[in-house]
């Protein structure tokens, strides 16, 4: 299940992942637990979201970018 569709729009999985990060989950394992999705799907989704500029990885954790924050407001 991709997080970003081919036309660049967020999928339900992408929205759920971003919302879990906003709620405080910051590692792939925490996000997988918060979303009840398999870890490998979370990791690939985070790569997609990072490529789209919606999340960034720093200090061993994922954070929403300003664009990511605005996307789920």
State yes or no: pLDDT of 5 exceeds 80.
yes
pLDDT at residue 1, rounded to an integer: 65
CATH fold of the domain at 12-71: Arc Repressor Mutant, subunit A (1.10.10)
pTM: 0.92
State yes or no: pLDDT of 66 exceeds 70.
yes
Domain residue spans of the chain: 12-71
Q: Among residues 70, 68, 10, 1, which one has the least CA distance to residue 26?
A: 68
**Pair 22, 15: CB distance under 8 Å:** no
């Amino acid at each position: 299940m991709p997080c970003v569709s081919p036309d660049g729009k967020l999928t339900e999985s992408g929205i759920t992942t971003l919302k879990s990060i906003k709620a405080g989950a910051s590692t792939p394992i925490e996000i997988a637990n918060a979303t009840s999705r398999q870890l490998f799907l979370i990791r690939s989704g985070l790569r997609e979201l990072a490529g789209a500029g919606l999340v960034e990885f720093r200090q061993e954790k994922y954070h929403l970018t300003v664009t990511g924050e605005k996307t789920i407001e």
